[in-house]
Amino acid sequence: MAGSNEVYANESRTVVPLNTRVLIHNFKVSYSMLRRQDGSFDRHLSEYLERKVPANAKPVHGVVSLDLLLDRSTNLLVRIYLPAPTVTGNELPQQALLSALQRPPSPNPFPVIIFFHGGSFAHSSINTTIYDILCRRFVTLCGGAVVISVNYRRSPEFRCPCAYDDGWTALKWASSQPWLRSGEDAKLRVFLAGDSSGGNIAHHVAVRAAESGIHISGNILLNPLFGGNERTESELELDGKYFVALGDRDWYWKAFLPEGADRDHPACNPFGPNGVKLDELPFPKSLLVVASLDLTKDWQLAYAEGLRNSGHEVNVIFREEATVGFYFLPNTNHYYEVMEEIRSFVNSN
Amino acid sequence: MGRNPYHPKPTDEDSSSASETDTLLAGVGYTVRSSDLHHVADRLEKLDSTIIAAAASGVPPEFLCSSAIHYNPSDLASWIDSLLTEVPPHSSPSLWTDATCLPPPSSFSIDAHRLGKEEDAGIRLVHLLMTCADSIQRDDLVLARSLIDEMRLLLPLIGVGYGIGKVSIFFLDALDRRISFLPQPTKTVLEDEILYSHFYEACPNLKFAHFTANQAILEAFNGCDRVHVIDLSLMHGLQWPALIQALALRPGGPPALRLTGIGPKTAKVGLRLAEFARSVGVPFTFQAVAAGRLDSVRVKPGEAVAINSVLQLHLLLSETGPIDSVLTLIRELRPKILTVVEQDADHNKPAFLDRFTEALFYYSTLFDSLAAGGGDGGCSAAAEVYLQREICNIVCCEGSERVERHEPMGRWRVRLGRAGFEPMHLGSNAFRQASMLLKLFSSEGYGVEEVEGCLSLSWHGRSLISASAWRARADSAVALVARHRYIIL
């Protein structure tokens, strides 16, 4: 195992830009110091090492953000990103922002994207810089979207289904806000989006939404985290190369899934032996981005298959020679082309 | 797509010189010089291989890296270099690195749980408060008065239990005082002390300040036999028993500790601390110094000096204030460490409306934390009065009367840099201990943040109070200038 890492270090050098390599490798190395064998997690060191940025009522590249506490009992925070509201006269940015939250439904339709950050259910928060940047990008990408980044409870301190519950709370809150509705029909045009564990959460929240009659315009899943007991070909072949090791994946599932559950639990393997049938449900359309050098790609492709078999639409964007985390830095074709796919998916739905 | 599917979009990096930082990594929080990228990448690979190899031979990363203390994670090059020296553990030099300044953003958080009919009135009240402040800034006191009357009518509609409601009342009262030209209420030293100790009990803010400063001082005193702590404002001396205790338990035995306490009526506190030190076996002497007489403090040759300033420096920032001479005095005392704890807020902006708005949202967050903290009712009420006084000072006073001139840590960094100090970064062990203490003694919602070597206490992500450590730059001239040594503190 130690030896094989050497060989493929050369591979990642040629397919990944140098600064991306430094970024993702830094995550890999620092994350490995946080996971303990007994299943516990060095949360203090994790918070110390994370690079964070506060919300900002002053526009940065035309986008403002603010943090809202949705649920005091679970300390559920969300960070809301919106296009900088027009400031009238001597108004301060905070005043303009407050006014924006009290607006009635806008006649001009705009999308609302509820975003779940990645981190294998254990890492990162809404104020982690890489995710703050990504959410800001989504606002301008989709022509003035409102993005709501959800600070869901993380494992191992909070296991499944806490993260799903938090996502559901955020969705219900969004549906109750008049200022998030738009268009002639004053509708909430909401998309669920997420990368890695966030993609997994987006799926499960979409299922609850479908079961409860909340209409979701679409799901956007970037390298979503799924798995199963079986070891797939891609898992065996890519283990330890391109920044991700199978043993680490196992640790995160063990930390997230209920005690005693295995990876065929429906949270992890929604179309597996314990999966829930989605055939009868009004499940939204999905945009699924898969990186060819992600060792979980076989599970992601199986997920797409499962959606299709249930009669639901899914557009799979398969990126050759992309690794995990390609969407953090705007320095590859993968980044720009995937952003374009997201933009057109949101605009056409 | 081809073997090498990426083409770099034209960016600054292409034509940057070797000493420039990679802009994309800087955007996500990491400072790495473009010329260092290969080095850092190689070092990361090396550490990764070491970790994997160790794990394969039965030593998991948690043991391999357990003694490592991390500093300034944004500076990837020095972070990875220092880790590689600590893993496997041999020599572990601590690395202090200088960092660039970030402008403080303006941020606030609102409790959306209260958003509803009640909060419509609350948000309206906030709007009115800001409009009233604006009219005061433009000298339209007639409009200001009518807005105040209108706001008083709104008050019954708002839940003033906590959050924006309660703090709005205090701001409303302060605005009223300001345009009524009422003199400031007289304060006694006794009242000050009582309110301070209730504030200390009601929330973790001061405990965090004391704890973090003590941690840094303890580390700075490593290996020193004679140490001298100068506290710019002794108050009840609540900070010091913990340090005395820690020094008593130091491997190799405690140093001889001298404590100089500046402030009114410090002698009694000094006596109590002396008794405590005696009981734990720390050789201890105490020197009482009157408030404002830092100039009369003397240091002895051969002793390691720590100067401690908790919520003191901002008091010196008025136009005629002595901040520069005080910082010079501090430097001339040649401290091994200067610990600075300040409110992380921008309440010293020249324009009244800006100041008012910043304070409104800062204290709203602070009051929210007090309320949710669930401290005993008595402490919370007195703590609110303590904070109300700060609010009144910020809103009602000008010139030398306005002493609550809080500034964000970024600006302190610049000021202290100009005064000849360089930062000593607070590391992951201080972070971890602060974090653990918070978990034990405070409600969920508090957090610790690390930014460029400073640690701050935050409530739902909003930084409230920031702690940092400094030492005199080696190259700064310590000129003993004969100048006025008279300070008003």
Q: Alpha carbon of B351 to those of A94, A153, B58, B136, B397: distances in Å?
A: 16, 40, 62, 11, 13
For residue A117, give the amino acid letter. H
Is the CB of residue A338 less than 8 Å away from at least one CB of chain B? no
Predicted pLDDT at B14: 46
Question: Contact B4/A14, CB-based, under 8 Å?
Answer: yes
pLDDT-wise least confident of A82-96, A124-138, A263-277, B269-283: A82-96
Question: Contact B432/A48, CB-based, under 8 Å?
Answer: yes
**Inter-residue contact B333 to B307 (CB < 8 Å):** yes
Residue A202 has pLDDT above 70, yes or no: yes
CB atoms within 10 A of CB A10: 8
**Inter-residue contact A232 to A207 (CB < 8 Å):** no
SS3 for chain A is CHHHHHHHHHHHHHHCCHHHHHHHHHHHHHHHCCECCCCCECHHHHHHHCCECCCCCCCECCEEEEEEEEECCCCEEEEEEEECCCCCCCCCHHHHHHHHHCCCCECCCCCEEEEECCCCCCCCCCCEHHHHHHHHHHHHHCCCCEEEEECCCCCCCCCCCHHHHHHHHHHHHHHCCHHHEECCCCEECEEEEEECHHHHHHHHHHHHHHHHCCCCCEEEEECCCCCCCCCCHHHHHHCCCCCCCHHHHHHHHHHHCCCCCCCCCCCCCCCCCCCCCCCCCCCCCEEEEEECCCCCHHHHHHHHHHHHHCCCCEEEEEECCCCCCCCCCCCCHHHHHHHHHHHHHHHHC
pLDDT-wise least confident of A192-196, B233-237, B477-481: B477-481
pLDDT-wise least confident of A112-116, A127-131, B362-366, B437-441: B437-441
Predicted pLDDT at B375: 52
Question: What distance in Å separates the CA atoms of residue A179 and residue B215, rounded to the nearest whole number?
Answer: 47
A 65-84 → B contacts, CB under 8 A? 66-72, 75, 77-78
pLDDT band at B391 (very low <50, low <70, confident <90, very high): very high
Helix (H) and strand (E) counts for chain B? 16, 10
User: Tokens 């028993």 appear where?
Assistant: B241
pLDDT digit string, tens, across residues A258-274 = 999 999 999 999 999 99
| Backbone phi and psi for residue A140, each to the nearest 5 degrees, phi listed first | -75, -35
pLDDT digit string, tens, across residues B120-141 = 677 788 889 999 999 999 999 9
Largest interatomic CA distance in chain A: 65
pLDDT band at B163 (very low <50, low <70, confident <90, very high): low
pLDDT digit string, tens, across residues B233-253 = 999 999 999 999 999 999 999
Question: Contact B461/A332, CB-based, under 8 Å?
Answer: no
pLDDT band at B194 (very low <50, low <70, confident <90, very high): confident
pLDDT digit string, tens, across residues A62-72 = 999 999 999 98
Q: Alpha carbon of B126 to those of B50, B353, B414: distances in Å?
A: 56, 13, 33
Largest interatomic CA distance in chain B: 79
Which residue in B has a C-alpha nearest to residue A8's C-alpha?
B45
Question: Contact B47/A51, CB-based, under 8 Å?
Answer: no
**Inter-residue contact A323 to A15 (CB < 8 Å):** yes
Residue B212 has pLDDT above 60, yes or no: yes
Residue B109 has pLDDT above 70, yes or no: no
CB contacts, 8 Å: A18 with chain B: 37-38, 41
Question: Contact A26/B30, CB-based, under 8 Å?
Answer: yes
pLDDT band at B18 (very low <50, low <70, confident <90, very high): low
What DSSP element (H or E) covers B457?
Answer: strand B454-459
pLDDT band at B183 (very low <50, low <70, confident <90, very high): confident
Predicted pLDDT at B474: 76
Predicted pLDDT at B162: 53
pLDDT-wise least confident of A8-12, A257-261, B164-168, B358-362: A8-12
Residue B483 has pLDDT above 70, yes or no: no
CB contacts, 8 Å: B106 with chain A: 56-58, 93-94
User: Tokens 């004053």 appear where?
Assistant: A186
Helices B323-332 and B409-418 cross at an angle (nearest 10°) of 60
Question: What distance in Å separates the CA atoms of residue A20 and residue A22, rounded to the nearest whole number?
Answer: 5
pLDDT-wise least confident of A171-175, A248-252, B431-435: B431-435
What DSSP element (H or E) covers B251?
Answer: none
Q: Give me the mean pLDDT over the B270-274 stretch.
A: 95
Is the CB of residue A28 less than 8 Å away from at least one CB of chain B? yes
pLDDT band at B90 (very low <50, low <70, confident <90, very high): very low
Which residue in B has a C-alpha nearest to residue A132's C-alpha?
B28
Predicted pLDDT at B297: 94
Instruction: Identify the structural domains of chain B with CATH numbers, from first to last.
Output: 189-344+406-485 (3.40.50.150)
For residue A1, give the amino acid letter. M
Q: Give me the mean pLDDT over the A275-286 stretch.
A: 94
Question: What distance in Å separates the CA atoms of residue B249 and residue B239, rounded to the nearest whole number?
Answer: 17
List the structure tokens of B2.
């081809």
Which residue in B has a C-alpha nearest to residue A95's C-alpha?
B127
- The winner for highest mean pLDDT among B60-64, B212-216, B441-445 is B212-216
CB atoms within 10 A of CB B268: 11
Average predicted confidence (pLDDT) for chain A: 93
Question: What distance in Å separates the CA atoms of residue B51 and residue A29, rounded to the nearest whole number?
Answer: 8
Which residue in B has a C-alpha nearest to residue A15's C-alpha?
B4
- The winner for highest mean pLDDT among A205-219, B105-119, B432-446 is A205-219
Question: Contact B49/A2, CB-based, under 8 Å?
Answer: yes
Q: Which member of A19, A71, A322 has the closest CB to residue B37?
A: A19
For residue B478, give the amino acid letter. V
Predicted pLDDT at B188: 82
pLDDT-wise least confident of B143-152, B260-269, B364-373: B364-373
Question: What distance in Å separates the CA atoms of residue B236 and residue A52, rounded to the nearest whole number?
Answer: 36
- Where is pLDDT greater, at A1 or A87? A87
Is the CB of residue B154 less than 8 Å away from at least one CB of chain A? no
Q: Give me the mean pLDDT over the B428-448 stretch.
A: 86
For residue B52, give the amino acid letter. I
Q: Give me the mean pLDDT over the B200-225 stretch.
A: 93
CB contacts, 8 Å: B435 with chain A: 43-44, 47-48
pLDDT-wise least confident of A201-215, A325-339, B103-117, B340-354: B103-117
Residue A4 has pLDDT above 60, yes or no: no
Predicted pLDDT at B6: 42
Is the CB of residue B460 less than 8 Å away from at least one CB of chain A? yes
List the structure tokens of B171.
């701001």
Question: Contact A67/B28, CB-based, under 8 Å?
Answer: no
Predicted pLDDT at B19: 73
pTM: 0.81
Predicted pLDDT at A161: 97
Average predicted confidence (pLDDT) for chain B: 83
Predicted pLDDT at B372: 76
B466 beta partners: B342, B456
Sequence-distant (≥ 6) Cβ neighbours of residue A210 within 8 angstroms = A216, A278, A281, A282, A283, A284
Residues of A belonging to the active site: 196
- Where is pLDDT greater, at B375 or A318? A318
Q: Give me the mean pLDDT over the B313-338 stretch.
A: 92
Chain B nearest C-alpha distance from A49 (Å):
6
| Backbone phi and psi for residue B287, each to the nearest 5 degrees, phi listed first | -125, 125
Give the distance from CA A304 to its chain's centroid.
Answer: 17
Question: Contact A95/B130, CB-based, under 8 Å?
Answer: yes
Q: Is the peptide bond between B88 and the residue preceding it cis, with omega within 30 degrees of 0?
A: yes
Q: Give me the mean pLDDT over the A175-186 stretch.
A: 92
Which residue in A has a C-alpha nearest to residue B163's C-alpha?
A69
Predicted pLDDT at B117: 57
**Inter-residue contact A332 to B6 (CB < 8 Å):** yes
- Indicate the fold that domain A22-348 takes in CATH: Rossmann fold (3.40.50)
Give the distance from CA B350 to its chain's centroid.
Answer: 22
Predicted pLDDT at A223: 97
Predicted pLDDT at A275: 93
Question: Contact B28/A2, CB-based, under 8 Å?
Answer: no
* 3-state SS, residue B116: coil
pLDDT band at A104 (very low <50, low <70, confident <90, very high): confident
pLDDT band at B444 (very low <50, low <70, confident <90, very high): confident
Is the CB of residue A329 less than 8 Å away from at least one CB of chain B? yes
